[in-house]
């Protein structure tokens, strides 16, 4: 057994993952690389080559030389509407290919269709976020190898460093041409940014664009140039538009959540970062959107303009840019129709790769430039450690997303969350899973006020000034935990076996925690 | 001695270059790679890192850790207005750094300021195009190591394959922000596309952006993201706008050149490629622009639209796109003010890297999609081999540019050139230097008509149909050479020593020819 810097017991060797000794989490910025990036497979081409176009998904799999035991990568910009993962896995099964490692950025409920293929051994390993049904299957021991969870920045880091070698990347392409130039911005399956797919295209041995919208050469704009793309498969539909983008993302109407949002926005206003040029990431949740709405009023009142909004981009940010309150948007994932339209038409709306967004192992990702991020949690503990992966019953139901990356990068990392969900406490003595260490979490905001990490005495002082005028109730972490205990009573302990069902990597590739299989 | 496939005698070993055996030119598409790309140096970053901003050029050189013996790369989008190469070399000299290899995309007359530093040993090796004064110096033995000439596609190939390792890249940045995001499209030194610099940024051990236009983070659009950029040096001026872009590129008014252009345009019209969706690269010369003007009329007459224009882009192409005659422009270098304005404002005007433009060792460069290219030459011979590097006196005065790449990629490669320049013949028995092999040259057009490479019987037939109506005079290569001889008399042979002053690489990294030092 080893013990990580966040005090977690982790086996020295994890079957199906490897040795942990030597790559144990030692601190948010402790591990730095040396040497050189992994070199992608070199190709050559001539004007006399045959076409890159293949018949359909199955033909593309054959042309790509996919074999049993290989690692296939996918990206999740088509979200709940994605047809590509299921289509590729089913075709592999029909071709008799087994023992695949899949390396998606994220799987959702729509991908529960691959569960039979997990059970039959077509898919034997998953490295990527497993949301919902597949996560539950994993928690219950349904996969023989542990899932490896990485953040949006940790994933490209793993690829460029050689931790993960992609045999074949399958890129869902809302638009493509016969040379393999890809864009996410046009077509019936338009999803806006396809930032998560960039590194896969650059590093995979074989890159397959799967499109339902083949256009004449050259398309423009081009997100991923055809110089990285070996094959283009044309299929009837890569996704269901209804599942790809939501209509509009909406601010919460729940009074408790609105109160939390108000406190969070006041905390930001009290902070030293609330000045012209402020930058923030707020995501698409109800509370963060409400924080943005309150902030927007404060910005107008104090004549402040933001330099950029980052991350998953919503129509709310797009509107703020149109109103001149945000100057630029840096978009790794476009959440709604308005964001998709904006990225396709406004040069100030910049498509960024996951590497650019969040990779700790390049010359400086966008998260490092971030002032404020509002994040959620399933649990937070007395050390400010945050769990976003497992639910109260210990089941792995959520991926890391950009949580680790933005928390580490931003000057002010705020977890905004009601203290309880039903009878389940969100603040506990010890989180079941450490996704993000307290070292990079600055404050928790609940309906009871603001809880500042004691390490941030500057923030305490800033809030205290506000507190004098009674605008920000301050509540220490132990009082908050005590209150949660009173509200929810003592929780049943989660019963797990020793077997590791999932490994949680910190964004630098070290192991910060493991998620153990649930006992029946 | 070895003998290349174009029948050139090449030493088996070239001092200062290496062994030639095993990398002798064997044919335009003979050499294909295996294995993996070179891995760029891996970096890491955190929000607690210091600023990337350094004081000026000298401070940046120190911060980059530049030492004697290193390889420094540059790009030439600032052309005759560039201040960056001279500034960096002078600062290196002042810092006592010597024995540098410089790896520019191209050097021009403005760079003759570095000649004293070549003589004093600050610069001991050049890999890149040497136009004008520095070329003459090299031809006369002024550099101890041979210059290595590579095409626009061969250069990124050399970098990604590991043939060339860049210790530090200095990128002239018409606009940059403090995170190192770079654009060529804004500012007083705007040059449009900075496509030649992309691969350097991705592969160099240290990347320095040198800018005279630091803007707030994040700039947009961004050509090279700051994730590749280690340092940002701010200086008063990176270039002289008058030398960076020409006012307007003009069609020739010379009647002989107009006649050549007319014949070339008729050849294109007669070819099977003159149909809707045709694509072409014509460059900025007087004859090619005139070809474009004639083609434009033919396109209107026959209701044909081009899919894309490629390469160095001029206002002439921009106007054709505005008129709907060209759908897209793919721009690796913007030649004039109109092109600079267009790339900054029109999403159909696409910035492409040199890798994307022309590298034979990726999944397929844009040149492979090209129908027609119009190129020039200093000499063409009976085998249709083309020389663009050395002049009639044997002096190395020009780089390869995209000549090899487009000739190899295009379906119809036309050399359009007057038969003589003054009393110097352009068609000869044997070119002094083979830049581009006859294997990829389809036709020569002079004021005497069209000379089709006998290999292209299909083109002969197509032209013959036209010839019946007397619109394209056809003249065989031997008659053309005979005519040149009659006009110019017998030329004095060029007298060279055995010493190799420059190596001409074919785009795949094989040695196609060498340029020997001139005898005094």
- Give the DSSP H/E element, type plus range, for residue B11: none
Looking at residue A284, what is its pLDDT?
78
Q: Is B46 near chain A, with CB under 8 Å?
A: yes
CB A433 within 8 A of CB A398: no
Domains and CATH numbers, chain A: 52-127+164-244 (3.40.1080.10), 255-494 (3.40.1080.10)
C-alpha distance from B76 to closest chain A C-alpha (Å): 23
Token pair recorded at residue B408: 């190899």
Q: Is A117 near chain B, with CB under 8 Å?
A: no
Burial A147-160 (b: 16+ CB within 10 A, else e): bbbbbbbbbbbbbb
Tens digit of each residue's pLDDT (9 = 90 or more) over A426-441: 999 999 999 999 999 9
Residue in chain A closest to B37 (alpha carbons) equals: A39
Look at B221 and A350 and tell me if their CB atoms are within 8 Å: yes
Q: In whole angstroms, what is the distance from residue B374 CA to residue B262 CA?
A: 12
Of B42, B307, B355, the CB nearest to A361: B42
- Give the DSSP H/E element, type plus range, for residue B484: helix B477-488
Chain B residues 423-442 with a CB less than 8 Å from chain A: none
C-alpha distance from B405 to closest chain A C-alpha (Å): 10
ipTM (interface pTM)? 0.97
Q: Is B328 near chain A, with CB under 8 Å?
A: yes
Q: Which of A44, A181, A226 to mutate to test the interface with B (most CBs of B within 10 A)?
A: A44
A220 to A182, A207, B279: CA distances (angstroms):
9, 20, 16
Tens digit of each residue's pLDDT (9 = 90 or more) over B307-362: 999 999 999 999 999 999 999 999 999 999 999 999 999 999 999 999 999 999 99
Of B161, B217, B221, the CB nearest to A42: B161
Q: Is B321 near chain A, with CB under 8 Å?
A: no
Q: Is A38 near chain B, with CB under 8 Å?
A: yes
Look at B218 and A308 and tell me if their CB atoms are within 8 Å: yes
Q: Is A154 near chain B, with CB under 8 Å?
A: no
Of B34, B36, B411, the CB nearest to A39: B36
Tens digit of each residue's pLDDT (9 = 90 or more) over A266-303: 999 999 999 999 999 997 788 999 999 999 999 999 99
C-alpha distance from A487 to closest chain B C-alpha (Å): 38
- Give the DSSP H/E element, type plus range, for residue B111: none
Of B38, B363, B508, the CB nearest to A229: B363
Query: CA angle at residue B401 from B395 to B403, to 5 degrees?
Result: 95
Look at B368 and A49 and tell me if their CB atoms are within 8 Å: yes
Q: In whole angstroms, what is the distance from residue B102 CA to residue B80 CA?
A: 18
Look at B363 and A45 and tell me if their CB atoms are within 8 Å: yes
Chain B residues 264-303 with a CB less than 8 Å from chain A: 277
Tens digit of each residue's pLDDT (9 = 90 or more) over A325-384: 999 999 999 999 999 999 999 999 999 999 999 999 999 999 999 999 999 999 999 999
Q: Is B468 near chain A, with CB under 8 Å?
A: no
% chain A with pLDDT above 90: 91
- Give the DSSP H/E element, type plus range, for residue A124: strand A123-126
C-alpha distance from A116 to closest chain B C-alpha (Å): 35
Looking at residue B464, what is its pLDDT?
82
Q: Is B307 near chain A, with CB under 8 Å?
A: yes
Look at B47 and A225 and tell me if their CB atoms are within 8 Å: no
% chain B with pLDDT above 90: 91
- Going from the first residue of chain A to its last (520 residues), give the mean pLDDT of each consecutive group of 10, the final group possibly shorter: 90 96 94 95 96 96 98 96 97 98 96 97 97 94 96 98 98 98 97 98 98 98 98 96 79 92 95 97 88 95 97 95 98 95 96 98 98 97 97 94 98 97 93 98 97 95 76 93 93 93 98 95
Look at B52 and A408 and tell me if their CB atoms are within 8 Å: no
DSSP A384-449: --EE-SB-TTS-B----TTHHHHHHH-SEEEEE--SEETTEESEESS-SS-SB-GGG--EEEETTE
C-alpha distance from B212 to closest chain A C-alpha (Å): 21
C-alpha distance from B348 to closest chain A C-alpha (Å): 6
Tens digit of each residue's pLDDT (9 = 90 or more) over B187-234: 999 999 999 999 999 999 999 999 999 999 999 999 999 999 999 999
Which residues have CB under 8 Å from B422's CB, separation 6+?
none
Look at A39 and B44 and tell me if their CB atoms are within 8 Å: no
Look at B39 and A38 and tell me if their CB atoms are within 8 Å: yes
Residue in chain B closest to A34 (alpha carbons) equals: B42
Taking contacts as CB-CB distances below 8 angstroms, the residues of chain B near A208 are none
Look at B364 and A216 and tell me if their CB atoms are within 8 Å: no
Of A42, A277, A360, the CB nearest to B361: A42
Residue in chain A closest to B327 (alpha carbons) equals: A218
Looking at residue B470, what is its pLDDT?
65
Supply the mean pLDDT for chain B.
95
Q: Tell which residue, A165, A68, A82, A75, has the closest CA to residue A121.
A: A68
Q: In whole angstroms, what is the distance from residue A260 CA to residue B415 CA?
A: 72
Tens digit of each residue's pLDDT (9 = 90 or more) over B274-302: 999 999 999 778 899 999 999 999 999 99
Q: Is the pTM of this model over 0.90?
A: yes
């Amino acid at each position: 057994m080893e013990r990580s810097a966040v005090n977690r017991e982790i086996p020295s060797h994890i079957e199906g993952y490897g040795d942990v000794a030597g790559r144990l989490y030692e601190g948010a910025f402790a591990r730095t690389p040396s040497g050189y990036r992994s070199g992608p497979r070199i190709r050559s081409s001539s004007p006399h080559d045959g076409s890159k176009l293949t018949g359909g998904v199955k033909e593309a799999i054959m042309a790509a030389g996919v074999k049993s035991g290989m690692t296939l990568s996918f990206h999740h910009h088509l979200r709940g509407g994605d047809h590509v993962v299921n289509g590729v896995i089913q075709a592999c099964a029909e071709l008799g290919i087994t023992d695949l490692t899949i390396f998606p950025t994220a799987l959702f409920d729509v991908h529960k269709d691959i569960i039979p293929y997990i059970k039959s051994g077509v898919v034997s390993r998953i490295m990527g976020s497993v949301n919902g049904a597949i996560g539950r299957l994993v928690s219950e021991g349904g996969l023989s190898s542990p899932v490896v969870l990485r953040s949006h920045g940790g994933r490209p880091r793993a690829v460029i460093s050689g931790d993960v070698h992609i045999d074949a990347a399958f890129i869902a392409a809302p638009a493509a041409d016969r040379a393999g130039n890809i864009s996410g911005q046009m077509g019936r399956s338009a999803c806006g940014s396809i930032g998560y797919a960039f590194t896969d295209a650059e590093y995979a041995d074989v890159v397959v664009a799967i499109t339902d919208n083949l256009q004449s050469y050259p398309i423009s704009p081009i997100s991923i140039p055809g110089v990285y793309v070996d094959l283009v498969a044309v299929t009837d539909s890569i996704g269901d538009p209804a599942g790809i983008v939501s209509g509009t993302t909406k601010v919460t109407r729940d009074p408790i959540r609105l109160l939390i949002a108000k406190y969070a926005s006041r905390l930001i206003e009290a902070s030293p970062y609330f000045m012209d040029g402020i930058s923030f990431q707020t995501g698409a949740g109800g509370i963060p959107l409400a924080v943005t709405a309150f902030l927007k009023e404060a910005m107008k009142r104090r004549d402040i303009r933001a330099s950029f909004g980052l991350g998953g981009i919503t129509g709310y940010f797009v509107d703020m840019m149109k109103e001149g309150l945000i100057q630029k948007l840096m978009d790794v994932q476009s959440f709604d129709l308005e964001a998709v339209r904006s990225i396709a038409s406004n040069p100030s709306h910049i498509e960024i790769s996951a590497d650019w967004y969040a990779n700790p192992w390049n010359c400086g990702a966008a998260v490092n430039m971030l002032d404020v991020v509002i994040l959620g949690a399933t649990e937070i503990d007395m050390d400010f450690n945050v769990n976003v992966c497992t639910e109260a019953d210990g089941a792995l139901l959520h991926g890391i997303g950009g949580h680790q990356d933005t928390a580490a990068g931003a000057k002010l990392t705020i977890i905004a969350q009601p203290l309880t969900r039903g009878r389940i406490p969100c603040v506990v003595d010890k989180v079941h899973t450490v996704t993000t260490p307290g070292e990079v979490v600055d404050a928790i905001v609940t309906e009871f006020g603001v809880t500042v990490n004691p390490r941030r005495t500057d923030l305490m002082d800033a809030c205290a000034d506000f507190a004098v005028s009674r605008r920000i109730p301050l509540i220490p972490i132990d009082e908050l935990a005590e209150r949660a205990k009173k509200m929810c009573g003592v929780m049943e302990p989660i019963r797990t076996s020793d077997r590791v069902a999932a490994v949680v990597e910190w964004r630098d590739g070290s192991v910060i925690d493991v998620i153990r299989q649930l006992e029946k």
